[in-house]
Structure 1
Amino acid sequence: MKKILLAALLIGASAATASAQVEIGLKLSPSITNLRTESPSTLGFKNEKSKLTIGGGLVVDYFFGENYAFSSGLQLVGKGGTISYFDPNTNRRQEQKIGMQYLEVPLTVKLFTNDITTDTKLYFQLGGSVGGAIAAKINGEKRYTDPGNNNTETKASDHIIIPEAAVLAGLGVEYQVGQSTKVFAGLSYHRGLLNIDKYFDNERDFQDVTLKNSEFALDLGLKF
């Protein structure tokens, strides 16, 4: 009896391994990013301009069904935008162009349709991502001199928190060009969940200031 159970377990494990399929590829993502702002009306934080960035990295799709895959990877992405606020110390509006780089790991599910034409499928992607900031610049520089804080100079990277988390939603099309080669193109929206700012609260004593990332990306890739 034990031998039969063991054989059944081995057969089941072998079948699961055989049915599972992993596809690995590379992705390039030009994107438009901005910073969502929230603050008391006396400070008047506003999103002024979006930022054009480009990112990319490794894509890993682990299929647990014919049309269902867990999608992850490792990606380098750029984020940021231009904000403005009223500085009570200078009695004028100040503007900052904030640029950041993140390493991110997507944690999503991809749902594929059956072929809509020969070797072509639509996909829908939903989930999130987690990551951390690895670099930052303000007004194109790694250091920032604040005219509203006695011209104190600080590192741009000290203005933002390191961890980041976002909700991710996307859709696209995937086309098989060879036995194991596929190309894909899609659009995705990444909505940051965390307040990235730690400067205005800690150094300027501005209360209830929130800056959060948003990103619209064009996802272009190749899977092997």
Structure 2
Amino acid sequence: MKKIFLTIAALAVAPAAFAQVEIGLKVSPSIAYLRPDSPASTSFTSEKAKLSFGGGIFMDYFFGENYAFNTGLFLTGKGGTIGYNDRSTAAGGATGVRVEQKIAMQYLELPLTVKLFTNEVAPDTRLYFQVGGSLAVPVQVRINGEKYYTDPYDNNTQTKAGKHVLDIDANIIGGAGVEYQLGQSTKLLAGLSYHHGLVDFDRYFERDRKFSDVNIKNSVFALDLGLKF
């Protein structure tokens, strides 16, 4: 009985023995693009990707020697250029016209992920794999580089760019990278991550233009460069 009790006690305190917090800064140049979907009548497509830049502070909370809960607070750039079919009445009748719209968004993002570390693959060097999700809110939106959008195919109606985008976004995150120990508590990290948007953020085409069944979601490929203290 005593051995069983000691074994249970050892298992209970093991996470606390390994628990430690590492805090760092990260910058993430990225390629962002949009994933639109719609009926053939409007034919929304992704036309161009967008170079973006993000960064912020992060925390790795280790609950085992090779396992950590990762969170933080980041500014993340998203967006891209979409194309779609619109209606023009300039020639005296309803005719189709192909339109491109560049959407640039900046989000304040909270990641909630798990990082799995290998043992050392070289002196002071470990690989890591990251999986989880994130929640984000838009803090800045521009349409074609402007804070207000004037739609030439809707009687030149002007709307605020921020009103085109839903007030929340959610993403699945997957990534991998390498971490190098520089000193007793200083570490460098470099990795790649993919952020797959789950939320249709469009609040303009269906609500204001009355297009049917339009869905637009975010995607981001990021190069993650960080320094832990």
**TM-score over 0.5 for the pair:** yes
Shift in Å, 1:12: 9.2
* Residues paired across the two proteins, number: 217
1:13 CA drift (Å): 8.5
* Counterpart among 82, 91, 103 of residue 98 in structure 1: 103
Alignment pair present for 1:121 and 2:138: no
Q: Which residue of 1 aligns with 2:49?
A: 50
Code of the residue aligned with 1:31 in structure 2: it is: S
Which residue does the alignment assign to 2:92?
none
What's 2:75 paired with?
Answer: 76
Question: Taking structure 2 as the reference length, what is the TM-score of the superposition?
Answer: 0.91
CA distance in 1, matches of 2:83, 2:210: 17
- Equivalent residue for 2:180? 175
- Where 2:113 maps in the other structure, the secondary structure is strand
Q: Secondary structure at the match of 1:208?
A: coil
Cα shift readout 1:91-138 (whole Å, capped 9, x = no counterpart): 211111000000011100000000000000000000011111111000
Contact residue 128 and residue 166 of structure 1 kept, 8 A: yes
Kindly state the Cα deviation for residue 148 of structure 1 after the two structures are TM-superposed. 1.3
Question: Matched residues in 2 for 1:87 and 1:14: separation?
Answer: 63
TM-score, normalised via structure 1 length: 0.93
The aligned counterpart of 1:199 is 204
How do 1:157-168 and structure 2 match up within 5 A? 157-168=162-173
> Partner letter of residue 53 of structure 1?
S
Distance change >3 Å, CA 22–CA 120, structure 1 → 2: same
Matches within 5 A, 1:1-224: 16-90=15-89, 91-224=96-229
Give the CA deviation at 1:17.
4.1
Note the alpha carbon deviations across 1:126-183, whole angstroms, 9 max, x for none.
0011111111000100000001110000000000001000000000000000000000
Per-residue CA deviation, residues 33-71 of structure 1 (Å, 9 max, x unaligned), is 000010000101110000000000011000000000000
State the distance in 1 between where 2:70 and 2:122 align.
23
Give 1:88 shift: 2.1
- Identity over aligned residues, as a percent? 61
Task: Specify the code of the residue in structure 1 equivalent to 2:65.
Answer: E
- Contact 1:134–1:162 at 8 Å: present in 2 too? no
The alignment partner of 2:60 has SS state of strand
Q: Which runs of 5+ in 1 are unaligned?
A: 1-8
CA contact (8 A) 2:15 2:64 kept: no
